Structure 1
Amino acid sequence: MADQAGFDVPPTSIAALQALAIASRRGEAHSPRLTAGALKLLEQLLAAPEPAANLSISALAAQHGVNASSLTRLAHALELSGFKALQALFRADATNAAFFSTRAERLLDLGQVPNGNRAPGQQQALWQEEMRNLSRTAEGLDDDALFRAARALIESRRVHIVGQRACFAGAHYLAYYLGYLRSDVRLIDSLGGINLESARELAAGDLVVGISYRPETRVSVDYCQQALEQGATLLALTNHASARLASMTDLTLLASAEGPFFFNPMSSLFVLIEMLLSHTAHELGGEAVASIRRREALIARWQIE
């Protein structure tokens, strides 16, 4: 219920949790009594809600450099029953259709977005976080999974690559350069409503590469599910181990996408795709060179600039 200041205590939504954090930072009357460390932890959780929604208490604590008990104490200070109740707020927010606008509002309200009036060092916040995203992606990459993914790209009869909305850029990039290395690569772009017709061709021996970031696009997930039902194999490229695509296959490559940005940071996805293409080319060896030369000869013949 709301207290005298109009706060929801305990909070029943991320918006209410955000309001409590702002009130606590300002020292407003009737705001939650949070220690400096607890307030900092709460603001960090709000600035990066995806891990808070999906990681275990121990993993989330390790990510923020605190003990798991700190998360439990924070939940109790907010008059929640415990960590699971706190995490439930983030999970509910992750399924909200207003995912990006909510994130933008939260970052602005919490002062997480650099602007021209702030110290010069804060202008590098996005850059520094993207560097951390790249490092986390490289450090967390499973060499065996990368090898199996490359072999799947090589050995599959056909490769369908699907990624909608922001992920379409990565899907196009992968499809274009994979087409230099092998034949029968198809980019699923939804033009003309051809998704169902394309999926109908898939069968055992084929591979679908599904690229989807939270909040995941239903079309991409449905296409991958249909492909699996018809016997195809799925390679998932996503930013969370708990993503729906990741739950559908044992072949998943993760690209870290965290930080104070209104939308999903995409730099690590492209680096991950570059690693995958490079590994595939190395596995193919001389075949890759021959295939690239054939593609270049065709480009020259058609005088494509």
Structure 2
Amino acid sequence: MTAPPPSLRDRLARIAATGTPALAQLAAWVLDQSSEVAFSSVRGLAGKAGVNANTVTRLAKELGYDGFDALRADIRKALAQRAPSYAARAQALRSRTNTDIFTEMLDANRANADLLQAPELLETLESCIDPLLGARRVHSVGVRSCYAIAHYFAYVGSMAFANFRESPAQPGAIMDQLSMAGPEDIVMAISFAHYSTEVVRACQIARDCGARVLALTDSHRSPLAVGAWKVVALPMAGPQLLPSLSTAFSVVEMLLSGMAARSPDAVANVTAFEDRITRYGGYIRQG
């Protein structure tokens, strides 16, 4: 889990050791679960921590904040500062020649791809195949740069499997769709530092509805990993403007290919899709 900033961590540790039983319990919980504070309401956090809402507010004030909103803002700021800004990544490119950049990117992509062969990661992906095939619905959520991955997963998945839903493109549509999820659904969520608020919120909604969250993210300390059913920690190294998304696309393609290999209906579904698009002129015929 993501640790709170040092000075806040010290204050939480003091309250955990010397505070009243309710405050001490909550302070100890926050020490291990600070990313939940960053993306929860007072009532939501109280429910997760097993305390009442007044205790959440009292803890914020005991820590020296005017209220919970100020505490939450401080932790959100700390989370954002842990990852280099995109501007800093862009500035770092100024010191390299194009040849250096291209070579470093290709080397990094090869190293990232090698890390995808780690036995633990492959076992995690393997363990997702049958549940994805058996889910009532499969949703995928990503925004900004990660929308392309979510859309690709949903688009290709819907060609071969009847249980895939279209990836929502607007923040309101994310809530509209996931609020109807249930325990038999799986939600694949994709984000990396800086973590998109919309995707973190989508994970919360999915968990509240009882759905299983498959988190594609950059670390087991990511807020997407909190309470997730499965976490795929993506290697994303490289000098480019944003962390590399090549492994995210590879993981999505691995999951889809694994599902197609095991599904009795994938061939017929893909054949029907191709026939429909061809019939209405969606593909250019050659030869």
Correspondence 1:204-219 to 2 at 5 A: 204-219=183-198
The Cα shift of 1:281 comes to 1.0
Distance (Å, rounded) in 1 between the aligned partners of 2:140 and 2:132: 11
| 1:115 corresponds to 2:115 | no
Partner of 1:76: none
SS at match of 2:140: strand
Give me the identity figure in percent.
27
The alpha carbon displacement at 1:278 in A equals 1.0
Match of 1:75 in 2: none
2:281 corresponds to 1:303: yes
Relative to structure 1, the CA distance from residue 231 to residue 294 in structure 2 (aligned partners, 3 Å threshold; closer, same or farther) is same
CA deviation map 1:119-160 (0-9, x unaligned):
x56641111111111111223653331122112220100111
Please point out which of 77, 80, 95 is paired with 2:80.
95
Residue by residue, what CA displacement relative to the aligned partner does 1:223-267 show, whole Å, maximum 9, x if unpaired?
A: 121011011111111122211112221412232101222211111
Separation in 1 of the partners of 2:270 and 2:169? 27
Q: TM-score, normalised by structure 2?
A: 0.65
Cα displacement string for residues 189-213 of structure 1 (whole angstroms, at most 9, x for unaligned residues): 3338322221221112111111111
The within-5 A match list for 1:66-215 is 95-96=80-81, 99-105=85-91, 107-108=92-93, 111=95, 114-115=96-97, 123-139=102-118, 141-191=120-170, 193-215=172-194
Equivalent in 269, 272, 280 of residue 251 of structure 2: 272
Distance in structure 2 (CA, Å) of the matches to 1:302 and 1:260: 43
Q: Distance in 1 between matches of 2:119 and 2:221?
A: 15
Residue equivalent to 1:282:
261
Q: Which has the larger radius of gyration?
A: 1
Compared with structure 1, are the counterparts of its residues 291 and 141 closer, same or farther at alpha carbon in structure 2 (3 Å cutoff)? farther
Secondary structure (helix, strand or coil) at the match of 1:188 reads coil
Distance 2:171 2:192 in 1: 24
**C-alpha distance in structure 1 between counterparts of 2:194 and 2:160, whole Å:** 31
User: For the residues of structure 1 that align with 2:276 and 2:236, how far apart are their CA atoms?
Assistant: 37
Q: Between 249-258 and 207-216, report the one with greater CA deviation.
A: 249-258
Q: Is the 8 A contact 1:137 1:268 kept in 2?
A: yes
Aligned equivalent of 2:16? none
- Structure 1 runs not aligned, ≥5 long: 1-11, 13-90
Aligned mates of 2:137, 2:192 — CA distance in 1: 24
TM-score (norm 1): 0.62
Q: Structure 1's 103 and 160: CA in aligned 2 closer, same or farther, altered over 3 A?
A: same
Deviation string, structure 1 residues 98-124 (Cα, Å, up to 9, x no partner) = 82113333x257x4xx215xxx56641
1:72 counterpart residue number: none
For residues 151 and 230 of structure 1, the distance between their equivalents in structure 2, rounded to whole angstroms, comes to 21
Distance 1:98 1:271, change over 3 A: closer
Cα distance in 2 for partners of 1:192, 1:260 equals 30
Decide whether the 8 Å contact of 2:116 with 2:122 is kept in 1.
no
Is the CA contact 1:162–1:187 (under 8 Å) kept in the aligned structure 2? no
In the alignment of these two chains, the number of paired residues is: 208
Taking a change above 3 Å as real, the CA distance of residues 203 and 122 of structure 1, as seen in their structure-2 partners, is closer
Report SS of the residue matched to 2:116.
helix
Q: What is the distance in 2 between the residues matched to 1:296 and 1:108?
A: 43
In the alignment, what sits opposite 1:240?
219
**Structure 2 unpaired stretches of 5+:** 1-5, 7-75
Distance 1:92 1:200 in 2: 28
| Cα deviation digits, residues 36-91 of structure 1 (max 9, x gap) | xxxxxxxxxxxxxxxxxxxxxxxxxxxxxxxxxxxxxxxxxxxxxxxxxxxxxxx9
Change (3 A) 1:122 1:162: closer
CA–CA distance in 2 between the matches of 1:130 and 1:275?
16
| Distance in 1, Cα, partners of 2:101 & 2:239 | 11
Mapped to 2, the partners of 1:236 and 1:180 lie a distance apart of 22
Q: Is the 8 A contact 1:204 1:232 kept in 2?
A: yes
Match of 1:291 among 229, 244, 269: 269
